[in-house]
Amino acid sequence: MVRPFPGRFPGTRLRRIRQVPWLRRLVAESALSIDDLIWPVFVCDGADRRDPIDSMPDVARLSIDLMLEQVAQAVELGIPAVAVFPVTDPQLKTPDGVEAINPENLVCRAVRAIKRERLDVGVICDVALDPYTSHGQDGLVDEVGTVLNDPTIEVLCRQALVQVEAGCDVIAPSDMMDGRIGAIRQALDAAGHSDTLLLSYAAKYASAFYGPFREAVGSSFGLCSDKKTYQMDPANAREALREVALDLAEGADMVMVKPGMPYLDVVSQVKQSFGVPTFAYQVSGEYAMLRFAADQAAIDGEKILLESLLAFKRAGADGILTYFAIEVARLLQ
């Protein structure tokens, strides 16, 4: 019989703190809660209308009346905020995206409807022109298709104002134009909306993971070129820190990294570098991969879903936009 002797085995055994569930919970470094969730919802015109999205099983475009039912359900589950994305009628899309500044556009009507119900939920509105432009770009373009930075910002300021006047709580510019946070902050303050929050999509990458979203809102139709001249290069992480620093200096209250899981290194660097409220978006492509794999029984959907979102928290995300929000809230309850 071989007898152990001093030094043969480790004195420190990290397995000791993994022995039982209560102890694992007690020493857990990260935790996922319902308070971390933001639910993105697609709203469309009409009544009693639910249009399934083929590339995003179990997600649908909802008319305002059905959206209100779903938002009320999210509130009952304790989800603190929803992000509203409009599915604009193609006949309303124009090269200049003028529908974005219409106070009676779909997103403004949806926000007013939520506020009339006096639901205890934050409303986040995307600021970008791609849901409204016939060419699918996030900004105005010239005759050769170049996306114009400063003229676009002028329209974004007007878009932000009509959304806030409709009742939006958080303006979330996702367009990636240089200088738009400062311009929108000034426009909101000048109009008496100094308390309106700005959540900047500060590090939004030119990612292939957005495909199902573009199908959902119809922004891929007519898109004649990519968005690499203004969205970030997936190869760059340090550049994201420059983007975040600029947006914070211009008045952003919170910052976003998008997509989520493929860019958790960026989420971590942003949180460690700035210590500000940092959000991440589990985008449509991430949702589709997990949902399709779970539907084929290739993975344990519930366990992997919770693990994926816990990874967001471990990286430093304070809030997570996810199409799984309602499902996750039920699991966490």
- Single pTM value for the model: 0.93
Q: How far is it, in rounded angstroms, from Cα 328 to Cα 21?
A: 21
Structural tokens at position 23: 């102890």
Cβ-contact 38, 322 below 8 angstroms:
yes
Q: How far is it, in rounded angstroms, from Cα 149 to Cα 274?
A: 26
Helix then strand then coil, % of the chain, to nearest 5: 45, 20, 40
CA 188 to chain centre: 22
Q: How far is it, in rounded angstroms, from Cα 297 to Cα 290?
A: 11
Write down the catalytic residue from 227, 258, 271, 313: 258
Q: Is 115 a catalytic residue?
A: no
Q: Please, which pLDDT band fits residue 89 given cuts at 50, 70 and 90?
A: very high
Which of these ranges, 8-17, 105-114, 252-261, has the smallest mean pLDDT? 8-17
Report the pLDDT averaged over residues 264-280: 98
Q: For the chain, give the mean pLDDT.
A: 95
Q: Is 227 a catalytic residue?
A: no
Q: Please give the domain boundaries of the chain with CATH numbers for all domains.
A: 32-332 (3.20.20.70)
Determine the Cα angle at 53 with ends 121 and 233, to 5°.
80
How many residues can be counted in the chain?
333
Write down the catalytic residue from 204, 227, 271, 313: 204
* Residues 205-225 pLDDT 10s: 999 999 888 888 876 655 667
Give strand pairing partners of 198.
Answer: 171
Q: How far is it, in rounded angstroms, from Cα 191 to Cα 51?
A: 37
pLDDT the model gives residue 225? 75
